[in-house]
Structure 1
């Protein structure tokens, strides 16, 4: 799943068995292909289980300076939104809180239905209880596009972002 800053789920793929790694699910997803084909501008944030790509930013495993530490901190504080979204979703729909007692096909239907209902609730202005201090700050760099020299040049993009926005 992917979400936006308002806890709205923007992408959901519930059709893989639980033993498949998240990075494999993403790698084979329509969302990944859309980013690879340039259909979206911007970045996705992932944890260290994902490969760093020019559109998928991940933390540095061993930051070596203050700018890299600030980057990691900022990425993690922003990425926590997906974890909070999972928590909201599970609190809203108790069936997701524990094991779903359903066939895999039915489970996919239940999860997707819960996601749709969750998004409808947000769209209609229901109240979500969350800590405002955890929300990412507004940014005025919406039109920023880093230099990309190849389709998998994630390390260069990440390095450029660190130098541009996290070095002082």
Structure 2
């Protein structure tokens, strides 16, 4: 159960940002970097470190502007399920649950959270700056919780999933009032 909660926590982080959680996973592993992370273990660590650092910086800076949010959403919408699956597999590598199931759960959660972000972006005509800072902070916290406090990280991920369901209901009600 702990591994599933850690998977949810890490995958929720991937639903908010793409490169930042992967960069943190590699840095938290110490000198072995991404040797325990599926797919990324086949890429040279210096190249991976440079690419993830650059993209993390782009995510950090571009998310503060409206045009940057639009650009990031295009990339994150397509990449979040892949990164969510990778994050889930990286965190829960010692579980008895089949890896394909962990990958599907992680990728699905990341995609759902990314779709909610896109929905709120278009509903609000851009995310407010405080929400972007909250996303950045929550993304880092969820990765740290996945390793150090999986119960709390999993609980936060489930609360985010509940928020996604509530948002969908609110959008449906809003749509019905408009028609």
By relative contact order (CA 8 Å, sep 6+), the higher-ranking structure is: 2
Larger-gyration structure (1/2)? 1
Q: TM-score, normalized by length of structure 2?
A: 0.25
Higher strand share: 1
